[in-house]
């Protein structure tokens, strides 16, 4: 966990560009595979840059949760940056908005609450949001991480508008996993994630088909048909697996090369996509994020 105060982390973040995307490197891999994949690395960062990345994630989480309630966001941010503790009503308010992600400050446990996985979801979200989309595509919808950590991993959805050729709108259902194990082998995690995409992803997709039906008119109609496209294996539908992991676990050779065997229902070109987000010591990084969130409480 970093010892750099939030205010200092903010300065470093600002000097780097202010976005997580400014602190990572992206590399496309496996172009020849049925399932190409990307590697996003926040590896080898200096301590201040690593602190800046953790601060950006913490700040994004709290901004998302407080939304238009600038009073609470400001309370948290100002106290965090000033290195002071909130008390009384102010503490109660911030606590209410921060509670269910990270547990309570008095009950912090090292590995509990699926913390690295949840931070991994935010890494997927922020890098997907801020890094440029694939050529010829624009992002029409990107699901923000949910409010709560799920032990089984999170789901994500992105809808692209395609400039030319094929369906005008395409979506990809993402299954997000974290791997912080000792053995440098992501394959079991990736394999499990493809299976979960089929089994658990169905729920998210179904809920999204209903819950997103009143998004902007053309998107809304497309969203209401997500499951229809999915079960038909329609070219507009695709699956993705994202794994957040430690830098030491970055695949040295190939990865995702057998994805089509574990996800055989969608066979059209571009049906599958992989993503590995690598951070030096993901567990420690996640705790740094949590540390910034809780530092005012």
Name which of residues 203 to 242 contact another protein (CB under 8 A).
203-215, 221, 224-228, 230-233
Measure the CA–CA gap between 272 and 173, rounded to whole angstroms.
10
Phi-psi region of 199 (alpha: psi -120 to 50; beta: other; left: phi over 0): alpha
* 108 binds another protein per the rule CB under 8 A: no
* 171 binds another protein per the rule CB under 8 A: no
* C-beta of 28 vs 221, nearer to another protein: 221
* C-beta of 16 vs 98, nearer to another protein: 98
Burial class (CB in 10 A: 0-12, 13-18, 19+), 56: buried
Among 28, 69, 78, 111, binds another protein (CB under 8 A): 69
* 93 binds another protein per the rule CB under 8 A: yes
Are 90 and 78 in contact, with CB atoms under 8 Å apart?
A: no
Among 131, 200, 247, 270, binds another protein (CB under 8 A): 200
For another protein (CB under 8 A), the number of binding residues is 54
* 264 binds another protein per the rule CB under 8 A: yes
Which window, 40-48, 158-166, 198-206, 278-286, contacts another protein (CB under 8 A)?
A: 198-206
Name which of residues 267 to 286 contact another protein (CB under 8 A).
267
* 148 binds another protein per the rule CB under 8 A: yes
Strand order in the sheet with 37-42: 25-29, 37-42, 272-279, 237-246, 169-179, 154-162, 137-142
Measure the CA–CA gap between 171 and 157, rounded to whole angstroms.
7
* C-beta of 34 vs 200, nearer to another protein: 200
Instruction: State both tokens at 98.
Output: 């921060």
Among 74, 100, 138, 185, binds another protein (CB under 8 A): 100
Phi-psi region of 237 (alpha: psi -120 to 50; beta: other; left: phi over 0): beta
Which window, 3-11, 65-73, 110-118, 173-181, contacts another protein (CB under 8 A)?
A: 65-73
* C-beta of 47 vs 216, nearer to another protein: 216
- Going by their DSSP bridges, the two strands 237-246 and 137-142 should be labelled as unpaired
First to last CA, the chain: 17
């Amino acid at each position: 966990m970093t010892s750099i105060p939030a205010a200092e982390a903010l300065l470093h973040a600002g000097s780097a560009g202010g976005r997580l995307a400014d602190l990572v490197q992206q590399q496309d891999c496996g172009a020849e595979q049925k399932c190409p994949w990307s590697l996003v690395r926040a590896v080898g960062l200096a301590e201040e840059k690593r602190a800046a990345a953790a601060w950006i994630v913490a700040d994004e989480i709290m901004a998302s949760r407080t939304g238009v309630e600038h009073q609470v966001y400001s309370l948290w941010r100002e106290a965090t940056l000033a290195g002071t503790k909130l008390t009384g009503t102010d503490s109660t308010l911030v606590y209410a908005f921060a509670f269910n992600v990270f547990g309570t400050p008095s009950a912090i446990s090292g590995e509990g609450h699926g913390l690295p996985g949840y931070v991994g979801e935010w890494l997927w979200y922020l890098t997907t949001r801020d890094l440029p989309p694939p050529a010829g595509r624009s992002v029409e919808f990107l699901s923000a991480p949910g409010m709560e950590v799920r032990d089984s991993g999170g789901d994500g959805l992105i809808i692209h508008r395609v400039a030319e050729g094929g369906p005008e709108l395409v979506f990809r259902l993402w299954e997000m996993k974290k791997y912080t194990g000792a053995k440098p082998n992501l394959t079991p995690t990736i394999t499990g994630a493809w299976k979960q995409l089929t089994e658990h992803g169905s729920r998210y997709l179904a809920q999204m088909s209903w819950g997103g039906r009143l998004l902007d008119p053309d998107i809304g109609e497309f969203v209401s048909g997500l499951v229809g496209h999915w079960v038909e294996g329609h070219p507009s539908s695709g699956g993705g697996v994202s794994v957040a992991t430690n830098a030491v676990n970055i695949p040295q050779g190939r990865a995702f090369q057998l994805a089509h065997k574990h996800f055989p229902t969608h066979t059209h070109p571009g049906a599958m996509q992989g993503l590995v987000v690598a951070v030096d010591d993901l567990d420690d990084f996640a705790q740094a994020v949590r540390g910034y969130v809780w530092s005012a409480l």
